[in-house]
Amino acid sequence: MAAATNLLTSVFILYLSFAFQLFPSGNSELQSSFYGESCPRAEEIIKEEVIKLYNEHGNTAVSWLRNLFHDCVVKSCDASLLLETVNGIKSEKDTTRSFGMRNFKYVATIKRALESHCPSTVSCADIVALSARDGIVMLGGPRVELKTGRRDSKQSYASDVESSIPNHNDSISAVLSRFGSMGLDTESTVALLGAHSVGRVHCVNLVGRLYPTVDPTLDPEYAGYLKARCPTPDPDPKSVLYSRNDRETPMILDNMYYKNVLEHKGLLSVDQQLASDPRTAPFVERMAGDNGYFHQQFARAVVVLSENNPLTGPEGEVRKDCRYVNSN
Ligand code: HEM
Ligand SMILES: *[C@@H]1O[C@H](CO)[C@@H](O)[C@H](O)[C@H]1NC(C)=O
């Protein structure tokens, strides 16, 4: 009797292990060197293009980093960000949350190089992930190993953008719970916001801290500088006025961001709140004091972000042109 039960149990366990191997959960299908056989030079080609583009337009590397965030946070890392508005279906990049995003035309440069080597093989979602990885290196950040095999969405999720991507003035609690839902803990969230060590912020996203009264958590001298950059409370939304995220090393992904935040020179409200919230402040202090630790945590967090809920296997498709879904 006992023997029969044991046999049944082992058969059942065997069955379970097969079932899980035959139908692995989405996440486990990302793998290292997914293109090892189908397009062996894929990762090399992306890196070469990222370097070439960086040498012509340094801020492309900054864009690749922001693209990773905006793509992966909405639904999944599926290149839904890159779709154009078609037949009245709004693109994610045309929403207000995506204000200021740039350099999309150079994604096409990378895709063209891949298509000429291995047509219809490398997904736009993997281009988003790997270009961010290589961009981070160009900006002096850490080298991150990323898995590949992401597939492209067949649709845009513009209506999910506002609920998925935090606003510049959201509370840290809201930010932590949003990032937490993607498996990013508090330390990772603090590290990822270090991306604001590079790039710029337009006045529309700043004036709330300057007018009618200056946010008391802003260093007064710094507030004066920002008012000079953004002289009116109602900037034309199309206005090109902006401020650098980090005036000292604006194109280097380093821990200057945390030093600035500790000196009350955080640009966005969410940046500044990191220094005052008791959950995040200890990490801010540690990152401000140790660039190596920041890089280590940043690298760890980028991996988690880049693996948010990917489409894999037969899901989605590999787009030929990152701006449009393939027609049948
Ligand atoms: C609470 C989360 C976040 C909020 C509210 C936020 C918000 C913003 C805003 C308002 C801008 C300025 C846009 C403009 O006016 O042009 C910006 C820029 C940027 N963000 Fe974030 N962000 C967040 C997290 C992240 C993360 C996690 C990353 C990447 C890992 C990232 C990367 C960037 C980059 C690189 C820029 C500069 C873009 C450029 O200069 O072209 N952000 N962000
Ligand atoms: C956040 O900023 C937006 C403008 O970008 C503004 O409409 C909104 O009222 C602000 N929210 C809070 C809570 O201050």
pLDDT digits (tens, 9 = 90+) for 65-104: 999 999 999 999 999 999 999 988 999 999 999 999 999 9
Extract the tokens encoding 144: 């991150």
268 Cβ below 6 A of ligand 1: yes
Q: What is the pTM of this model?
A: 0.91
Instruction: Check pLDDT > 70 for residue 294.
Output: yes
208 Cβ below 6 A of ligand 2: yes
195 SS3 class: helix
Q: Do 70 and 98 form a contact (C-beta atoms < 8 A)?
A: yes
Site of tokens 């509370």: 171
CA distances from 310 to 7, 19, 79, 127, 193 (A): 38, 21, 10, 13, 22
- Report H helices in 59-171: 59-73, 105-117, 124-138, 161-164
Q: Which residues pair with 152 in a beta bridge?
A: 317
Instruction: Check pLDDT > 70 for residue 6.
Output: no
In sequence order, what are the residues at sequence separation of 6 or more whose Cβ sits closer than 8 angstroms to the Cβ of residue 304? Answer: 182, 183, 184, 188
Whether residue 250 is annotated as binding a ligand: the answer is no
190 Cβ below 6 A of ligand 1: no
Which structural domains are found in the chain, ordered by start? 42-164 (1.10.520.10), 172-305 (1.10.420.10)
Q: How far is the CA of 110 from the centre of ligand 1 (A)?
A: 22
State the ligand closest to the CA atom of 270: 1
Ligand 2 mutation pick, 169, 205, 206, 211, max ligand atoms within 8 A of CB: 169
Cα 326 from Cα 320, distance rounded (Å)? 7
Q: What amino acid is encoded at 121 in this protein? A: T
Which pLDDT does position 249 carry in this prediction? 85
Ligand 2 atom nearest residue 169's Cα: 1
Whether residue 277 is annotated as binding a ligand: the answer is no
Burial of 109-135, coded b for 16+ CB within 10 Å and e otherwise, reads ebbebbeeeeeeebbbbbbbbbbbbbb
Q: What amino acid is encoded at 78 in this protein? A: D
Name the percent of the chain lying above pLDDT 90. 84
Q: How far is the CA of 169 from the centre of ligand 2 (A)?
A: 6
What is the pLDDT of the chain when averaged over all its residues?
91
Nearest CA among 168, 189, 172 for reference residue 180? 189
Extract the tokens encoding 88: 């009245």
Extract the tokens encoding 288: 């401000």
Which pLDDT does position 235 carry in this prediction? 82
Which pLDDT does position 71 carry in this prediction? 98
Instruction: Check pLDDT > 60 for residue 9.
Output: no
131 Cβ below 6 A of ligand 1: no
φ and ψ of 89, to 5 deg: -90, 115
Cα 32 from Cα 17, distance rounded (Å)? 23
Instruction: Check pLDDT > 50 for residue 22.
Output: no
Residues carrying an active site annotation: 70
- Determine which residue's CA is closest to atom 14 belonging to ligand 2: 169
- Report H helices in 181-254: 186-193, 220-229
Whether residue 92 is annotated as binding a ligand: the answer is yes
Q: How far is the CA of 293 from the centre of ligand 2 (A)?
A: 33
169 Cβ below 6 A of ligand 2: yes
pLDDT digits (tens, 9 = 90+) for 24-79: 444 448 999 999 999 999 999 999 999 999 999 999 999 999 999 999 999 999 99
The secondary structure element, H or E, covering residue 200 is strand 200-202
- Determine which residue's CA is closest to atom 39 belonging to ligand 1: 199
pLDDT digits (tens, 9 = 90+) for 252-278: 999 999 999 999 999 999 999 999 999
Pick from 183-197, 203-217, 233-247: least confident: 233-247
Nearest CA among 213, 222, 324, 301 for reference residue 265? 222
- Determine which residue's CA is closest to atom 6 belonging to ligand 2: 208
85 Cβ below 6 A of ligand 2: no
Which pLDDT does position 4 carry in this prediction? 53
Name the percent of the chain lying above pLDDT 70. 89
Q: How many CB atoms lie within 10 A of CB 94?
A: 15
